[in-house]
Structure 1
Amino acid sequence: MAGPHSSSDIDTLRAKFYQLYIAVEQSPAATAITDTEGRIEYVNRRFLEVTGYSREELIGKTPAMIRSGLTPDIVYRDLWQTLRSGQVWRGELQNRKKSGELYWEAETITPVRDDSGQIVRFVAVKEDITERKRQEEELRLLASVFQTGQATLITDPEMRIERVNQAFTDITGYLPEEVIGHTPRLFKSGRHDKAFYAQLWQEVLETGHWQGEIWNRNKYGEIYPLWQSITAVSDEAGKVRHYIAVFHNIAERKRLEEELEQQATRDHLTGAHNRRAFDTAMRKAIRQAERSDNTFSLLLFDIDRFKSVNDQHGHDTGDAILKRLATLVNQTLRSTDLLARWGGEEFAVLLQDTSASGASTFAERLRQQVAETRLHGLAVTISLGIAEYHRGESPDEMLARADGALYRAKRAGRNRVGVADSSP
């Protein structure tokens, strides 16, 4: 009979050991064996793949070489305290690959004892959980955004509301229990026609997304503007599972836009349009006149001897007169006409669809009205120059003709209307 250590027993033992070695070596879990001081004695293939190091670079070293420096020291203190007490340690560590890339591992480190019960090694089995941590972080981020970000509502494929956040309630006034199970039709303001909603949903169905300005009605019946985006969320088969609408109230923004528009196009003293706005309107009037048989006229006027008014009564009085004059002129204009402060005491008026003859009638009436009205307690007069648009002329050419007519009215004694030569 073969003895207790026969060659066949040894061969069997070697075969089993080899099978165990192959199983560990080819395991999908990164595995390392260290001595009691943490020096690496063995690492499997997966460990090398994860860390990017070779066996030669790892054997004899400690796992400190893959530390990221981002895992708190208290974690390592707990790790060694647990292992030296003979217990299994389980936890998560953020490590660094040879390339410098950070990654997360879930580790189970087990003490290995000899026949006398002494701890002689540690076996660490590691699972790369970087993707799981990324997804967890993404979910936390999304949850944070949902709770603290813009107003958000989530619906099912039939547009029934499933979830809303606090920002939604803050903007709309509706509590979750008042809207869940309903559709967003609850918020329609009546400001948009069927074609608007048809185009909106066509874009969502074709591209999966829509964003734009929309007016809704809140719980209290108030209508307000929103900037809203709607996104279709599909499953792997391409079937829509949810719609997500994210929006914020832009009423304040629109108010500021209107205010900025006023500042950009209006004279701060008189409230009349400024020169920039007038230039834009004049170019538009010329384009319209070139495309049609209509004409328009330009009227320039200023206050006679305005310098002496300022000198005798002060600039505050002069400013008050300019404001009163702008108000008086505006009251005589049609909605299609435009008054601008041209500079100092000079003003310009665009009279749409008006010939030189019609402009002269208007100008004479305005001249007389100013002369008969005391502005801030003072009697003042104005002189006016008129030019009717000639096809093909530039804004500067037309302005020069009106300015020439105004100059002639001044030379003729002021408080008069001058008309530019009607021939091109």
Structure 2
Amino acid sequence: MSEAWVGPVTGPDCVQGGVCEDITSLRKRFYQLYIAVEQSPAATAITDVKGRIEFVNQRFLDVTGYSREELIGQTPAMIQSGETSDAVYRDLWQTLQAGRVWQGELLNRRKNGELYWEAEVITPVRNDAGEVVNFVAVKEDVTERKRQESELKLLATAFATGQATLITDAHMQIERANQAFTDITGYREHEVLGKTPRLFKSGRHSADFYARLWDDLLNNGHWQGEIWNRNKYGDIYPLWQSITAVRDDSGQIRNFVAVFHNIAERKRMEDELERQATLDHLTGTYNRRAFDTALRQAIFQAERGDESFSLLLFDIDHFKEVNDRHGHDTGDAILKQLADRVSSSLRSTDVLSRWGGEEFTILLPDTRLRGASTFAERLRCQIAESRLQGLTITISTGITEYRPGDDMDSMLARADEALYRAKSAGRNRVVVDDTTRVEE
């Protein structure tokens, strides 16, 4: 605006000049208002009473992605997402047509198709006669806020109903714990606030275990694995636990979040499955697979210079005749009773297994050949003097001792050869692999 356009602006007797001065001042104020609205950080739009857009500021363009030319003369319907309910728009127009201010949140769509949330305040503008002539909409993009609210709601739901969760500060002092945490540990939230997870240590893990845990957590931001803890009542139980370090914008650790569940039942089932996989289904002794494992371990320990061990291989004499004469049910019962009798004569470190059919093996750790022979002879006598299913049963036994350089096959071959000689010599006897017979 130039002074030439508005005319003289000075002189006490220039009425016209005074009018021009008022107009100039008014135009300056309107221009200042326009600049303020145009540069406002809030998206602003002015429509007529039918909703046709007459003005939008720069922020409105930035948010929607449209140009002024594309928006002027159109209605806000061009930015509607189609996902806001009709009831919201009915309430909006009923409120505005009644001359009242409407405020709420709308899900809109940018020119590129991206959805976004806006918090809007729409105000009716009246003329001097009190008639509504425009609507002014001031909008704030609240997409990020809505996303955070949704995430917080989701996290709150998970915290309340999901796995056991524990939140600590950067110094490992407990700040939050949920109900699932209480269900597993027995501790209520108020009992652990301000304390550290050292409260739950079981004593089962070494310092190296915790050092590796912290190394992963601090270097990778995450650790997960099996850990044994102690609950409020002193019970020790296994957990599968995941710990995450939460960092702030500057990269500093702000919190640690631990999520865990009790795997005691899973461990019990795994142990039971492992037990079933290693036991003979009929006699309850170890099966051949478990025996092979035990024999390999015994050889490994003997190779390291530990005490030697002996291996016994025995079977029931004339067992086929027992099955043929009395039936397989009786034969099965005899096998179970025999296994029970032999088990009752063993040490906790000895290993009895069903080798196959009526054959059994026994590993005697830290036992030399003489001691094994004495044990085998005593066992032979006990069986011969007993009655199994009302029948007199005898066993023949072959014995060998570990020798440097032995493997599984060489030891089993010697024990089997000794058993063969025991049977050839008349059965119901013990033979060691050096051909020395132990008399009845």
Normalising by structure 2, report the TM-score.
0.76
- Whichever residue aligns with residue 178 of structure 2, its letter is N
How far apart in 1 are the matches of 2:109 and 2:428?
A: 88
Q: Give the alignment partner of residue 261 of structure 1, picking from 247, 252, 274.
A: 274
How far apart in 2 are the matches of 1:16 and 1:120?
A: 21
The equivalences for 1:38-57 within 5 A come to: 38-55=51-68, 57=70
2:330 corresponds in structure 1 to 317
- Whichever residue aligns with residue 162 of structure 2, its letter is G
How far apart in 1 are the matches of 2:375 and 2:398?
A: 12
- The change in CA–CA distance for 1:314 and 1:56 in structure 2 (over 3 A counts) is farther
Q: Give the alignment partner of residue 227 of structure 2, picking from 213, 237, 248.
A: 213
Secondary structure at 2:108 match in 1? strand
- The change in CA–CA distance for 1:236 and 1:50 in structure 2 (over 3 A counts) is closer
How far apart in 2 are the matches of 1:150 and 1:233?
A: 18
Q: Is the 8 A contact 1:204 1:232 kept in 2?
A: no
Secondary structure at 2:347 match in 1? coil
Moved more, 372-381 or 353-362: 353-362
1:224 corresponds in structure 2 to 236
State whether structure 2 residue 412 is matched by structure 1 residue 399.
yes
How far apart in 1 are the matches of 2:206 and 2:418?
A: 54
Secondary structure at 1:269 match in 2? coil
Residues 75-97 of structure 1, C-alpha deviations (whole Å, 9 max, x = no match): 22222222222222111122333
Residues 367-420 of structure 1, C-alpha deviations (whole Å, 9 max, x = no match): 332222222333222333334445445434443443444344444443344544
How far apart in 1 are the matches of 2:206 and 2:407?
A: 44
Secondary structure at 2:100 match in 1? coil
Q: Is the 8 A contact 1:203 1:209 kept in 2?
A: no
- Whichever residue aligns with residue 382 of structure 2, its letter is Q
Deviation at 1:246, TM superposition (A): 4.9
- The change in CA–CA distance for 1:186 and 1:397 in structure 2 (over 3 A counts) is closer
- The change in CA–CA distance for 1:416 and 1:102 in structure 2 (over 3 A counts) is farther
How far apart in 1 are the matches of 2:49 and 2:410?
A: 97
Deviation at 1:133, TM superposition (A): 1.8
Identity of aligned residues (%): 68
- The change in CA–CA distance for 1:67 and 1:375 in structure 2 (over 3 A counts) is farther
1:147 corresponds in structure 2 to 160
How far apart in 1 are the matches of 2:109 and 2:318?
A: 83
Secondary structure at 1:297 match in 2? strand
* Structure with larger Rg: 2
Secondary structure at 1:279 match in 2? helix
1:344 corresponds in structure 2 to 357
2:305 corresponds in structure 1 to 292
Moved more, 386-395 or 101-110: 386-395
2:118 corresponds in structure 1 to 105
1:280 corresponds in structure 2 to 293
State whether structure 2 residue 416 is matched by structure 1 residue 374.
no
Normalising by structure 1, report the TM-score.
0.78
Moved more, 127-136 or 225-234: 225-234
- Whichever residue aligns with residue 132 of structure 1, its letter is R
Structure 2 gap segments, 5+ residues each: 1-13, 436-440
Q: Give the alignment partner of residue 147 of structure 2, picking from 134, 156, 165.
A: 134
